[in-house]
Every structure is written in C-alpha cells, then in structure tokens.
Structure 1
Amino acid sequence: MILRIKNMVCDRCVMVVRSELERLGCRVCDVRLGEAEIGEELTPERKRELAARLAELGFELLEDRRARLIEAVKNAVIGLVRGSEVVPDVRLSDYLQERLRVDYRQISALFSETEGRTIEKYFIAQKIERVKELLVYDELSLGEIAFRLGYSSVAHLSAQFKQVTGLTPSRYKLSGGGRRRTLDRV
C-alpha cells in the first residue's frame, strides 16, 4: 500500500515518518519524500490513528488525488533545487511533465488554482530559500551560488533575490540571515 504524505520535505521527515509507521507496527517497505510504501493495507481505524499522529508532527495523510498531485509537484521542485550540487539546466515544465507523467498545462492550472501562485513562482521561492541557506553557511561566493542554482549571472540572482526578499544578498548576509522559512512554508 502506498501512502501519500504532505509536508515531507527533507531526509529528517523521511526518518520521522518511517519511525511512526514502525511504531504503529506497519511493515515498512520504503519511505521517500511525499510517500511511504507499506506491506499491508491499513484498516480505517489504523489509518485514522496514523493520520492523527502524522498531523501532530506537522504532516498530512493525503487522500484526494488533486492534493497528491500538488504535493508531488512540490516534492519534485524541492528535489530539483536541492537534489544535486548543481541545479540541472532543464525547463521546469519539461522536468515536471516527464517526472510526473501528467500534462504540464493540467499541473500548472491545478497548482495555480490550489496554491494561489504559479509553479514558477514556487520554484523561484524554493531557489531563494536555498540561496539564503548558502549565504548563511558562508562557504561559497555569490557567483558560485548563482552557478549552482542555475542563474545566468550574479546580477540575475541578486535582482530576483531582492524582488522576493526586499534585500540584496549582501544585505541579507550582513543581517545574519534570520528570515529563513522551512521548506513546507515556502
């Protein structure tokens, strides 16, 4: 049985969900961002118990097909931004359509309707959160960060950063970087 779970955005989330499933006595086959595979069907009672426990931890068991698709889009975007050292040079629409096996126009319309913003704006917000994180770590130059996140130039990164945050990257770095958000709140 595959369970779709909202707000799984990092490896720690995967560990927490795996732990909860095991605590409930489920035979866990695999847990990855946005879903868990278990080796049995859950009774409605156990499913409610799992949903309640996941809700206490900030997750949500997804039943609705549309909600599952939105969560799959978010997980795919997060995976694109954070899944490798350098964001691959691909068109977002092609990447999502190939990854999710759903027409991009359908994905885009549903996402905009449900989330109140476009997938592209969500993608940019995820990239900016990653930039904030890398700025705080202070291990890379702005040029290296721009390259890693697929920006055409430092100027493009800086302009987009300021548009989203209201600060330049250097001003953000000087401020101590206290304005970061968790991935599920981006």
Structure 2
Amino acid sequence: MRLHWSPKSPYVRKVMVCAHELGLEGRLQRVRTVAVMLRPNPDLMRDNPLSKIPTLVLDDGGTLFDSAVICEYLDEMAGGSLFPRGGAARWQALRWQALGDGLLDLLILWRNERERAQPLAELIESLTVKARAALQQLDREAAAMDAAPFGIGHVAIGCALGYLDFRFGAMDWRGDAPRLAGWFATLSERPSFRATEATDG
C-alpha cells in the first residue's frame, strides 16, 4: 500500500500512529507528497481529486481518504480495537475523534489565516475562542479519556495537541488545561507517538 505522506501533516500522523499501534507501519510505502491549499498537486489528484493528504492507495489500485476512513480501514485489516465495534464505547470514541479532528481543522484554518498579508481579525478571534473552548472541554474529560481503552479518539486528540505544540508554540494551553496537559504528557510517551512527531524536514 502507498500512503501520500508528509512529516508535517497532523492527519498523516493520525494514520501513522494507528499503523504503528496495529503493527502495519512496515506495510505502508510512504510517498512524500506536497499538499498546499492554493496549489493543487496534479500527481496527488490522480489518486484523490481533493488534492489532500493522507491518501492511501491500496494494493488493488483503489484509494481511500481521509484520515478517519484510512484509520478505520487499517484497524479492520489488523483486527484491531482502535474503533470499538458498538455500544456507548463506540460513540464515545467517535465523538472524541470528531472533537480532535475538529480542533485540528480550526487550528489549520487559524494558521493559514495568520499567514495572510492581511489576516481577518474577526476570524482569528473566533478561531481562538473555539480552540480554547475545545481545550477546556477536553480538560474536563481528561480523566474519562485516561480511564477509557486506548482508541481512535485518543489518537485524534493527541495529534491535535501535537500540532498545537508544533505550530502554536507560544500558546500556553497547558496553563489553561492542566489535566489535559498531564494526560497528553503520558500519551506522548507511547512509542507510536514518539515515532511520529512532526518535523519541518
């Protein structure tokens, strides 16, 4: 399987964390791929018309995207337990994944906006308020996340917090969310997270 990949992408990191947890990282041929919002990549678009990563090209030539779909595919392939099969545990895991992915979405939009020549102040303020609200919610749920079996929600939230450190280093989110900070410190010691830290390389 070929994975359109970048060491900077938090959504690619989600896939790679899952691959490590499931023992599938050796099955993925990583293809370094540039995906920039303002410059569609014609090579990538042959596999994904949205020109987004991660995109997984299967051995039979089929393709899967986005990270949520790819992660669930890998979990099923390996017979894993990152996605609970049913009941309250499944909905909680999917909810946490949605919260982590949603936080990532707004952080990426925030970063893109602040890089513009004339950032829209109202948008920056709105994104800041939403990000802090998400972090406060996660801080309230840190004990529940700690008690729950490791799953896709932990992966998504961990990758969002890792991106926050990578691209928003000046933001003192740990001071506002100390329980979440402690949870993340423990999560970051997992081999799958240590092996997939974002780099500018």
**TM class by smaller structure:** 0.3 to 0.5
Q: Which has the larger radius of gyration?
A: 1
Q: Normalising by the residue count of structure 2, what TM-score does the alignment of the two structures yield?
A: 0.32
Q: Normalising by the residue count of structure 1, what TM-score does the alignment of the two structures yield?
A: 0.34
